[in-house]
Amino acid sequence: MVFFLVDTIKRISNAIKTRFQTMPKRILPLTDAQVSKAKPRDKDYKLSDGGGLHLLVTKTGGKLWRFQYRFNGKQKSLALGQYPQITLANARKRRDEARTLLAHGQDPGEVKKAAKKAAALKDASSFELIAHEWFSKNEPVWSSGHALTVRHRLEKDVFPTIGKKPVSEITASDVRTMLLKIEARGAAETALRIKMMCGQVFRYAVATGRLEYDPSAALKPREIFKKRETRHHSAITEPKELAPLLRAIDEYQGTLVVKSALQLAPMLFVRPGELQKMEWSHVDLETSTWSIPAEQMKMKQPHIVPLPRQALKILQVLYPATGDGQYVFPGRGRRPMSNNSINAALRYLGYDSETVTGHGFRATARTMLDEILNFRVDLIEHQLAHAVRDTNGRAYNRTSFLDDRRDMMQAWADYLESLK
């Protein structure tokens, strides 16, 4: 009987001992101090925090958070970030989020991959990235001056506001808010040009399949911008604004005929129709004059335009190309170039019709010859082919003050050259 009791007690003791030996050991949570003081060893090793979370300490000194889990019977590992960028508390939060996904039947690793892919797709369709594509596509045909202006406007006014947003998430309200901020600082013209430029980027996104429609198309300038004084012919009358335009004209990449006309337009400041129909038979390169017959003038009076050295140089370069024909600037067939050629070239350079027109160069010269170069108003009016009368009310003839006007035209050409 005693033997039986001793044997029973021994079996119970062994069973209890075995039970404790096979029970999983409890993992004590890590402390911030343990994580911070963990040193590299000869081999990578793990410090467990519990719940599937551990810190992988590499032999090179790296400390990487990992979450071990099973999904559909497979053992998997999820990277949660690197210490110290991801603290112990943050790592536990990420572990708990992953465990929540598991509880809802989702693989945390696949969810992370999907989120990363969505973020990459979002970045690939941002306004800034598409604008850079659009810029690169058009830069080869732009002048360097225009390209610089476009880049500056994008970087200063557009990218900080809507650059990071996917184009599909940009609304008309977003664009309107951006434009009104630009207008509020007194840059209404810039706001208008930026609207046009953004519209081109949006339409490029539509053409490349990343956008359904241009959100800026619904914004009409007359409805969102403050009303401004209407000018019959828009013109630039400030030297700091005229200089970049003159440089852009010199770098124009169109035909020699249009470029030459574009260069002469601000220099000679005749009416666009007069320049368009300029004939070689009316140009005397030896005396440096261009005599326009009465039938080609608005006032039906003959007119003389003294040609400065810079104008002669342009005509001498053009002569081998068009000198065997009637018109200095020929178009198709035997007709002169289109009456819209100058304005079309200005639009190509990025200057809209509310900023400058071919006819507006007359106002540019009228203002700056008077206010900056201090020439007599009657000389300027003569050269503009306006009706100027003497003290007896008689109209001066076309040769009046010709030497003075010749000096003025040369001074004007020199001034334009100095601006560039």
DSSP-derived 3-state class of residue 80: strand
Is 213 an active-site residue? Answer: no
Whole-number pLDDT of residue 302: 87
pLDDT at 121 (0 to 100)? 59
| Catalytic status, residue 303 | no
CATH number of the domain bearing residue 317: 1.10.443.10
- Strand duo 303-306 + 289-292: pairing: antiparallel
Structurally, how many domains does the chain consist of?
3
Q: Quote the pLDDT of residue 32.
A: 87
Q: What is the pLDDT of residue 392?
A: 46
Which of 53, 88, 116 is the last residue in one of the domains? 116
Question: What pLDDT is stored for residue 393 in this prediction?
Answer: 45
**Is the domain of 218 the same as that of 105?**
no
Report, as ranges of residue numbers, the positions in the chain whose pLDDT lies below 50.
Answer: 20, 22-24, 230-231, 390-394
Choosing from 194, 224, 254, the residue where a domain stops is 224
Contacts of 17 by beta carbon, 8 Å cutoff, 6+ apart: none
Look at residue 391 in the predicted model and tell me its pLDDT: 45
Residue finishing a domain among 160, 193, 224 = 224
| 184, 247: one domain | no
Q: Which domain holds residue 200?
A: 127-224
- H/E stretch holding 12 reads helix 2-22
Q: Is 300 a catalytic residue?
A: no
Q: Name the catalytic one among 152, 156, 386, 389.
A: 386
pLDDT at residue 416, as a whole number: 94
Question: How much is the pLDDT for 1?
Answer: 54
Question: What was the pLDDT predicted at 398?
Answer: 61
| Residues 275 and 386 grouped into a single domain | yes
The residues, any chain, with a CB within 8 Å of residue 215's CB and separated by 6 or more, are 170, 171, 172, 174, 175, 202
Mean pLDDT, all residues of the chain: 84
Instruction: Look at residue 261 in the predicted model and tell me its pLDDT.
Output: 94
State whether 290 and 382 are in the same domain: yes
Single out the catalytic residue among 132, 396, 398, 415. 396
Question: Is 362 one of the annotated active-site residues of the chain?
Answer: yes
pLDDT at 209: 86
Residue among 92, 153, 271, 406 flagged as catalytic? 271
Shared domain for 279 and 336, answered yes or no, is yes
- Identify whether residues 110 and 163 lie together within a single domain: no
pLDDT score, position 7:
64
Tell me if 219 is assigned to some domain. yes
Clarify whether residues 220 and 251 are in a common domain.
no
For residues 141 and 101, membership in a common domain is answered with: no
Task: Decide if 5 is inside a domain.
Answer: no
In this structure, the answer to whether residues 37 and 102 fall within a common structural domain is yes
**Whether 205 and 272 share a structural domain:** no
pLDDT of residue 22: 47
pTM: 0.47
